[in-house]
Structure 1
Amino acid sequence: MERVDRGPRELSRLVDPALLHGPRLDRTWRFLRLDFTGIAFATLFFCWSLTPSLLPRDWLFQGLIGGINAAIGYTVGTAIGWLVRRYFLRHRSWWPLPEPWSTGLRVVVTVTCVVVSLVMLAYSAAWQRELAALMGAEGTTTTGYIRTGGLSLLVGAAIISVWRLLRELVRWIAARLIRRWHLAIPTATTVGILIVTVLFFLLVDGVLMRGVYAATNAAFSLQNSTTRDSVEQPLDPEKSGSPESLAPWDTLGYEGRNFVSRGLDADELTAANGTPAKDPIRVYAGLETAEDPDARMDVVIDELERTGAFQRKVLVVIPTTGTGWVNPTAAQAIELVHNGDTALVASQYSFLPSWISFLADREKAAEAGKKLIDRVHERWLQEPEATRPKLLVYGESLGTQAGEGAFDTLSDIRQTVDGVLWVGPPNSNRLWGQLIQRRDPGTPEVDPEYSAGLVVRFADDSADMVDDTGEWLSPRILYVQHPSDPVVWWSPDLAFTRPDWLKEPPGEDRSPSMKWFPFVTFWQVSADLTNAAGVPDGHGHNYGTLVLDGWITVAQPEGWTPVDTERVRSTLESLAGTEGPEK
């Protein structure tokens, strides 16, 4: 390495020994001192974050996102300020500004930033009320939303403090390298940055993330062993977990027990539909049902054979979300439409909620979905073609990613199953992304068409599912997605790139006031993810009874009429309190 002898005077100027040897009061002042260019940019980014996004946000989430974006803006502003001072103002005779101009400029900047922030908070509260009204939700108040400013200040200050601690650590390491090894200032600083960066990422990725993942997995594995109040072991032999079942009740997990214990029986279906019904079949394997995925699939196939699933009219494979959850409304809709002549099969692959599985191990979902669909399809092919049931696939949220894992192309889907309904697909879905990328020219990303809807279609409401726009070949493939669903539109690319859906006219339930800003929009939509299902039916990630319309469109039940649809919808709505999605 380069060794350079530095005199005490030059070393003092470059290393800034006041930081290392000065009085504690000086250190504290230097730590607290703010860059006023940074303050201006922090205010700009904070104000950008107050603009509307996909879903209404309360003051708590807005405060968190506002603070993160303000810290990013402060970092950008300090960097720009440093460049301007170094390369533009440095040799100007009038710089730095004399007193009282210097102090006056700082006061003006500070006061302006406070006033602008307060005005934007008032505008933001109005935007949030407008967005809430668009979705039929309750809006916020202006006075209540002002709390956002205080919380954002605290969050931003915390992030900047961490950054400054890391910066001081770099300086400390650089000073030690210079004193001990007589390195050049740039070399010592570079080495210090590298050391701190490596230590930081080792701490976050190697300790914090793994620790959080392990703790979360442990916490949700405990929940997996519990059972919801009022949920009881089924006695019907058509259900996994029953006394006759090969999948014991206590091995199904929290969501598996919910799934098999629910649903209308033959008498209730007969009363709802007015015609004699069958008891629906529900097959499920939990993580504890067998030691490994292959063994769980063996149990699934044995259960399908035991219950007579291959003699039913419809066999539906449901790759689950992270915890093994199956949307109760979707399951009920399928059974009501086919009057119980159905078999639903699902399998758990994780303890963790979808958002954690998505971040930590999304490949596991695709592998689990492929294994489930492949094994069921392999056994289904052994049945006589004339008498075997329709084989269909349903998936929601991360379950769509699990389902897509079984197929490489649209042709592969059409050669394997008799129809697919995928609801609320994550933006990272491989097949969905390819279809969106290759959509027909002139069609918007939020409401795309692919090959004029010949094989696959996209819909955000029941009107989009009406087959009056040309031929739609069977088997049908349908994606249902809301313009306001952050699960569908969230992507890391939002930090740096404006997507097509924000260049186009907004969808039905997206605010036209939503704009794209670098970094800011990414964090806004990230915050929306936390409340994706917390909005009324028909918005965000809450699809309500729209899954019924989607299922009828894909399954094409014989002799079905709009009257039948509304009859089933009425039944689903009456069950929503106890049998609907857990939000």
Structure 2
Amino acid sequence: MHTLRRFSARLEPAALFFAIVFFAFSMTPSLLPRAWYLQGVATGISVATGYGLGCLIVWIGHACGIRPAWSDVSKRYGWWALAGTAIVVIPLFLILGSWWQQIVRKLVEVEYEGGGRLLYVAVLLVALVVAVLLLFIARGLRWCARSLATLCTRFVPVPIAKGIGVAVVAVLTLFLLNGAVNNVLIAAIASSSELADKGSHPGVEQPSAPENSGSEESYEDWDSLGMEGRRFVSSGPTAEEIENFTGTAALTPIRAYVGAADADSIDEAADRVVAELERTGAFDRAVLAVATTTGRGWVNESVAGPLEYMYGGDTAIASMQYSFLPSPIAFLADRDSPREAGRALFERVYDAVQELPEESRPKLVTFGESLGAYGGQDAFGGARDMAARTDGALWVGNPNFTKQWSEITADRDAGSREILPVVDDGRYVRFAGRPDELEIGTPWSEPRLVYWQHASDPITWWSPNLVLHQPDWLREERGIDVDPGVRWFPFVTFWQTTFDMVFSTDVPQGYGHNYGEDSVDLWAEILQPEGWTESDTERLREIIAR
């Protein structure tokens, strides 16, 4: 009890007011519904941030000589006013937060969370624990800085000593955190992920068709493909399944894949993919697709499969694994490998295609999702280069740090929204969250390049700039799957979007970072297969959605 009194006595009233304001901000809606415990953590971080900001403002005021001499009566009234504000604001925004979350759930078709309002009492408890923990850490760092400054005053003036104390503690903290994350945590995850990569998903079996890597005829050993690679080469539609859909004779689609286990480098892996393409006769197929994977080598079957059905199996898809890290970890710790892999694989395949007689070349298309979209686009200098060297592209759920996506979005036509940019009147490049958004009333030339992004996808909209910068997508009209009440608040929106990413795929297809059967419509618009009809699109959507 004595420790609690000492702790509360040292709290800054003005900073507590900012903490309450940031508490209210943190309960406002964001892109996706959040689990109550994530809401608690986000709220706790926001409360601590608000308190820290309030302390900074008070410190600046004191440094400028602003030190009001409050009487004991004024202080008492101030504390009562602060307590009254907390008593009103905290319960009110807990209730509003629960209500807003249910609105967001309806927008993205997620079932109602039972006991939602009662769980928000737990949100408050988690938030308090997180905020107090962060405050203790901040005070510990401040004590270290002050102790070091006191020591330095023996040798240098006080202002310089204080600067040294703060700088040294800051540098050491960053050094320790970076070392702990990169040298210990990431290394441990990489090691365990490499071990897990030797396993297989339930029901995955070695393919018997020679058209697939990992088969008996393949240059690539089945066990070397990695967990996601084995699933990819064994999960595509068979010639029989395609024939049942088209009603005509079909070929077995080619899926060429190389895992990271046996390749000494990304360049070597890319060369081996081309060797697999040559072995299977992929360069004689009607369509050849280059797919850049996510962290551990995943390719979205809902994006790959429609191509194979549309062309009666007369297709080949080339892909490879470049990392053992799960996508969320690779998202944070390894942004070089996806770019190197995307560039190396496309360049090797492109060069091989260019060696063929022009009249014998397959349609060359490219696609990728998330880190795959980020890495795959690094093979191109921009949209014009993409249009010059491919026959179509589908980039899905691009991370906000994707260079080409960012540049194309920034150069959008005046008056178009950031969530649905219009570029050069939609001549080659088009953006869509839903298939019908591809139609913008202007001619669409070939090749066609599509950026598929949901307005509610936090992977696309998350950026460190959210800390202090309001993005255009929060200035303009919201997407149909985003609550119109979503607002930008400094610091708070960054943490909200950060925690939205955690369960960004745990929503139905068409929302968040879950991209599914809409790919059928998009590929049909991009490639316009001969004889393809709207009825074919609807039938294929049903197959892909299973």
Query: TM-score range with shorter-chain normalisation?
Result: over 0.9
Counterpart of 1:256? 229
Residue of structure 2 aligned with 1:185, choices 158, 173, 182? 158
| TM, length-normalised to structure 1 | 0.90
Quick one: which amino acid aligns to residue 557 of structure 1? P
2:412 to 439, 457, 466: 439
Q: Secondary structure at the match of 1:535?
A: coil
Mapped partners of 2:499, 2:536: distance in 1? 39
- Quote the offset at 1:517 in angstroms: 0.6
Give the Å deviation of 1:209: 3.5
1:344 alignment counterpart:
317
Q: Distance in 2 between matches of 1:350 and 1:170?
A: 40
User: Which of 29, 40, 46 pairs up with 1:52?
Assistant: 29
Q: How far off is 1:108 after superposition?
A: 3.2
TM superposition shift of 1:72? 0.6
**Do the aligned partners of 2:266 and 2:340 also contact (CA within 8 Å) in 1?**
no
Question: Secondary structure of 1:324's match?
Answer: coil
> In 1, Cα distance between the equivalents of 2:531 and 2:523?
15
Q: What is the 5 A alignment of 1:530-541?
A: 530-541=502-513
Residue pair 1:495, 1:518 contacting (<8 A) in 2 also = yes
Residue pair 1:445, 1:500 contacting (<8 A) in 2 also: yes
Residue number among 479, 485, 497 corresponding to 2:457 in the alignment: 485
CA displacement at 1:290 relative to structure 2: 2.1
Aligned in 2, Cα 1:316/1:26: closer, same or farther, shift over 3 Å? closer
- In the TM superposition, what is the alpha-carbon distance from 1:251 to its structure 2 partner? 0.6
Equivalent position SS for 2:296: coil
Paired with 1:510 and 1:563, the residues of 2 have a C-alpha distance of 30
CA–CA distance in 2 between the matches of 1:86 and 1:553? Answer: 63
CA RMSD of aligned residues (A): 1.9
Matches within 5 A, 1:443-462: 443-462=416-435
Q: Which residue of 2 aligns with 1:165?
A: 140
- The equivalences for 1:191-230 within 5 A come to 191-230=164-203
Deviation at 1:519, TM superposition (A): 0.7
The letter of the residue matching 1:152 is A
Is the Cα contact below 8 Å between 2:518 and 2:541 reproduced in 1? Answer: no
Equivalent residue number for residue 174 of structure 1: 149
What is aligned with 2:297?
324
AA of the residue aligned to 1:157: V
**Given that residues 465 and 549 in structure 1 are in contact (C-alpha distance below 8 angstroms), is that contact kept between their aligned partners in structure 2?**
no
- Alignment pair present for 1:62 and 2:34: no
| CA offset digits 1:247-273 (Å, max 9, x no partner) | 110110111011011122111221232
Query: Please, which of 495, 498, 503 is the counterpart of residue 467 of structure 2?
Result: 495
Q: How far has the Cα of 1:409 moved from its partner?
A: 2.2
Q: Label 1:225 to 1:369 Cα distance change in 2 as closer, same or farther (>3 A).
A: same
Taking every aligned residue pair, what percent have the same amino acid on both sides? 41
Question: What letter corresponds to residue 174 of structure 1 in structure 2?
Answer: A
Shift of the alpha carbon at 1:157? 0.7
CA distance in 2, matches of 1:426, 1:226: 28
Deviation digits for residues 299-321 of structure 1 (CA, Å, limit 9, x no counterpart): 11111011111111111100111
- What is the rounded CA distance, in whole Å, between the counterparts of 1:182 and 1:296 in structure 2? 58
Q: For residue 377 of structure 1, what is the aligned residue in structure 2?
A: 350
Cα distance between partner residues in 1 of 2:343 and 2:9: 55
TM-score, normalising length from structure 2? 0.96
3-state SS of the aligned residue for 1:318?
strand
The offset of 1:88, in angstroms, is: 6.2
Matches within 5 A, 1:511-530: 511-530=483-502
Aligned residues of 1:423 and 1:547 also touching (Cα < 8 A): no
Question: Which residue does 2:126 correspond to in 1?
Answer: 151
Q: Which moved more, 1:63-72 or 1:144-153?
A: 144-153
* More displaced stretch, 116-125 vs 101-110: 101-110
Mapped contact 1:122–1:146 kept (Cα < 8 A): no
8 Å contact from structure 1 (residues 349, 368) kept in 2: yes
CA distance in 2: counterparts of 1:461 and 1:27, whole angstroms? 54
Residue number in structure 2 paired with 1:79: 56
Query: Counterparts of 1:189 and 1:511 in 2: how far apart (Å)?
Result: 47
Alpha-carbon shift at residue 61 of structure 1 (Å): 0.9
Alignment partners' CA distance in 2, 1:429 and 1:119: 40
Q: Deviations over 1:275-306 (max 9, x none)?
A: 22111111100002322222212211111011
The residue number in structure 2 matching 1:285 is: 258
CA contact (8 A) 1:478 1:554 kept: yes
Aligned to 2:530: 558
Equivalent-residue separation in structure 2 for 1:186 and 1:239 (angstroms): 69
SS in 1 for 2:318: strand
Compared CA separation, residues 195 and 216, structure 1 to 2 (3 A): same
Q: Distance in 1 between matches of 2:400 and 2:181?
A: 27
CA distance in 1, matches of 2:213, 2:242: 20
SS in 2 for 1:344: strand
Q: How many residues align?
A: 544
Q: Structure 1 counterpart of 2:45, which letter?
A: I
Shift of 1:107: 3.6
Distance (Å, rounded) in 2 between the aligned partners of 1:482 and 1:293: 31
Unaligned runs of 5+ in 1: 1-24, 575-583
SS of corresponding position for 2:359: coil
Q: Which runs of structure 2 are paired with 1:359-438 in the superposition (5 Å)?
A: 359-438=332-411
Structure 1's 167 and 340: CA in aligned 2 closer, same or farther, altered over 3 A? same
| Distance in 2, Cα, partners of 1:58 & 1:293 | 38
In 2, Cα distance between equivalents of 1:556 and 1:333: 12
CA distance in 1, matches of 2:42, 2:4: 30
Any conservation in 1 of the 2:259–2:320 contact (CA below 8 Å)?
yes
Q: Which residue of 1 aligns with 2:216?
A: 243
1:96 to 51, 70, 77: 70
Q: Compute the displacement of 1:353 (Å).
A: 2.2
Change (3 A) 1:31 1:105: closer
